[in-house]
Amino acid sequence: MRRAPWGGLEATVWAALGARTSGRHRRIMPVSRDVPERWPRRRFSPRVRRMSRRSASFALIPVATLVLAVVGAAEPPRVVLGSKASFRYGSGWGTAHPSALDNDGDPSGRAWSIDWTRWGGTRALGRGMTYLAPSLTRNYWRKGRVQLRASRIGRCTVGGVHAYTRLDVRVAELHSGRFSAWQLWNGRPNLCKPNR
């Protein structure tokens, strides 16, 4: 045991407390017996570091899978409008938020430039363009505005996708005028049933 330079009783007390002198200036530095003077720095081989990174990557895979599963569960079911059999030679039916509809009949059964809102909800609303049938004051086909309201989500076939089975429509003149009262598209209460 190294003795303090002043010797005597003080040196004996500091030695008992675990003190030591350090450096050429002989400063007194008490040393704790529970905490090491300097934490050793571990040096891992390149192989160990590669294995650690690989283990961390594998550990992230279950987490990413869980996140994707939660996101997938939160997505609403796909909803279409009617079915492809709604109008045998028509277009837009049986698809999700169609931008155009056509019954393959007279011009009033056509709609285009449709912009939908709330699609997938209990009731989806759309607006676009259509042809207005001749009237007493205007005996010719002309462009007009149309508003659509899809509702009654169901299934047109067993195990099939969800579909809006009812479509209401109302029209107005192109530049002015109020919209008409709501009425069934093509007079059909159920779009799943094909037209005859």
Domain range list for the chain: 1-36, 45-75, 79-187
Sequence-ordered list of residues with C-beta below 8 angstroms from that of 172, at least 6 positions apart, any chain: 144, 145, 146, 178, 179, 180
Sequence-ordered list of residues with C-beta below 8 angstroms from that of 16, at least 6 positions apart, any chain: none
pLDDT for 155: 95
Alpha-carbon span 108 to 67, nearest angstrom? 47
* Lowest-pLDDT choice from 42-46, 90-94, 180-184, 190-194: 42-46
pLDDT exceeds 70 at position 104:
yes
pLDDT exceeds 60 at position 37:
no
What are the φ/ψ torsions at residue 189 (nearest 5 degrees)?
-75, -15
Q: What is the pTM of this model?
A: 0.61
Please name which of 125, 195, 119, 120 lies closest in space to residue 167, comparing C-alpha atoms: 125
pLDDT exceeds 70 at position 129:
yes
Alpha-carbon span 184 to 170, nearest angstrom? 9
**What is the CB neighbour count within 10 angstroms for residue 129?**
16
Q: What average pLDDT does range 147-156 have in this prediction? A: 97
pLDDT for 34: 55
How is residue 23 written in tokens? 């450096």
Q: How confident is the model at residue 136 (pLDDT cuts 50, 70, 90)?
A: confident
How is residue 177 written in tokens? 């005028």
Give residue 48's region: left, alpha or beta (phi > 0; psi -120 to 50). Answer: alpha
* Lowest-pLDDT choice from 49-53, 57-61, 139-143, 175-179: 57-61
pLDDT exceeds 70 at position 190:
yes
